[in-house]
Every structure is written in C-alpha cells, then in structure tokens.
Homo-oligomer: A and B are copies of this chain.
Amino acid sequence: MKWMKISSAANSTVKGIKKLITHTRVCREEGRTIAEGIHLAKELLNRNELIQKVFLREGATKNSEISAILHSLDSLSVPCIELPNSLFNEISPVENSTGIFCEILIPDNTYLNPCEDIVYLDGVQDPGNVGTILRAALASGVKYFAASISSAYFWSPKVLRSAMGAHFQCHFVQVDTLKKLKQQSRLRCLVADARGGKSLYELTWDKSPVLWVFGSEGQGVSDDALQQADSRVFIPINPQVESLNVAMAATVCLFERKRIKDCCSEISTN
C-alpha cells in the first residue's frame, strides 16, 4: 500500500470521498461507494480487487483487527490515507467509527439466472430495511436482487453497512421495471401485500423458482407491482398489530419458502 497523510479538508481526495459518503447519486454515477468499519473491511479481503482507497483515523493501527486487515492488504498498490482525528470524524459515514473505511468499486450488475429465486424491492426506501432484507434473504438462500428506482440504492454506504457483507455474495440485476423483469425471468411472481390475497401458508409450491416482490414501508406495494402478481400473498398476523415492518415480512416469507424448499428436496432425495 501507498501510505500518505492528509490533514486538509480542502484536499481533493477528501472532498471526493465526502461527496461519495453524502450523495448516493454520486455513488450510482461514479460506480464507487464506501464500505465502513472493520466487518466490511474483513469481508473485502476476499474481494480486494474492489478496494480503491483505505481511510484510517490517525492511530487506528493500534487496533489489532485493523492492523491485521492492513497487513493482509499490504501487497496491494492502493493508497492508505491517514486522517487526523477531527477530519476523520467530520467525514466518517458513522458516529463512533472504529477508524477505518474503504472506497470500493461497485461490481457490475449481473445477468439473470432464471433458475433461482429473485427478490424485487418496490420502493423500499429505508437503507436499514434494504440491508436487513439482503442479509436475511441471503441467509435464506436467495442471491438475485433487483429494485425499483424508488428504492434505496443497493450500493449506498448505509445499505452496504446494514447488510454486513451480504453484498459480496449477491447478484444485482439491472432492470427498468418489474414488468420487464417478469418477462425476462418468466418466473412466478409473488407479491407480498398486507391487505389481502392468499395466506403465505396456503400457497401451493412446485420446484420452480419464484420472483418475490416486497413494497414500501408506508404504502406497501404499488399498483404497477400488483398488476404483475401471479399471487398476492399475506402473512396472517395478530390483528392487534397493524402490519409487520417490510424487513420482518420479507424474512418470514423467505424463510417459509426455504422451509418448503428444504423439505421438498428431502422428500425428493429420500
């Protein structure tokens, strides 16, 4: 690594990174984003071709985890930039950072694999929810994701942080609309809708993959998305609660799907 120290907020590298941290639009346009914290830095050791720059708080190398990460990255020819405490805190994407974040390239979007389940987010705006859904979906075995433009950007620093490394195992499909995604994938489209439809536990399943759609926090799924539904699906809940948060609802749906898949594959292999 190429070590350097920067102490001026007016430095062009500092200004550039500040823009990336503050404006998701800039991440989208420039194909770069910020991976904050030790956990993501560790995940990046397996994808170190993505790392463009490493930013450290002055003295952060005293942290043994950070120093081990830097040791593993030593052979890369990327800059490692040390910032004084005050400047680091000023631009850090989170309060109370452990003292490391990386600028990384956003990997290219992938093409569709129509043999696997896909999750489509229809206006899920909260980055924490999007990240949580990615992590839970990957835990349930889903690897393909797409989203409406009204959803939080998958590769925004906040989504990246909240998914805790799931991104590097996931594939992101670029599509203009759910309609096109459905046409291209030819998958059965299950739209989660708290207002009604079929109970999650009364769906009939076969071995074909499905295209899940989860809607926005306030309004739920859009009318456009509903039009693509082969089934509208609801989770039966205690009527004392208005609705589940979208990340919880997605988790319940995806793990029920996993339960059914695992149990079918056991039956078919027995």
Contact = CB atoms under 8 A, between A and B. Distances in A.
A100 to B, nearest CB: 19
What DSSP secondary structure best describes chain A's contact surface?
A: helix
A174 interface: no
B256 A259 contact: yes
Interface string A125-151: 000000010011011110000000000
A20 to B, nearest CB: 22
A166 interface: yes
A123 to B, nearest CB: 19
A138 B259 contact: no
Contacts of A247: 248
Given A201-B263, A252-B252, A139 B169 contact: no
A235 B139 CA distance: 10
Given A169-B240, A201-B263, A241-B166, A248 B138 contact: no
A259 B201 contact: yes
A136 B240 CA distance: 11
B241 A139 contact: yes
A113 interface: no
Contacts of A138: 238, 240-241
A136 B245 CA distance: 8
B256 A135 contact: no
A236 interface: yes
Given A256-B259, A259-B256, A241 B201 contact: no
Interface in A225-270: 235-238, 240-242, 244-245, 247-248, 251-252, 255-256, 258-259, 262-263
B245 A132 contact: yes
Given A136-B248, A248-B136, A255 B241 contact: no
A132 B132 CA distance: 12
Contacts of A164: 242
Central interface residue in A238, A241, A242, by most chain B CB within 10 Å: A241
Nearest to A255: B252
29 contacts: A132-B245, A132-B248, A135-B241, A135-B244, A135-B245, A135-B248, A136-B244, A136-B245, A136-B248, A138-B238, A138-B240, A139-B237, A139-B241, A139-B244, A139-B248, A141-B238, A164-B242, A166-B241, A169-B240, A169-B241, A201-B259, A201-B262, A201-B263, A248-B248, A248-B251, A252-B252, A255-B255, A255-B256, A256-B259
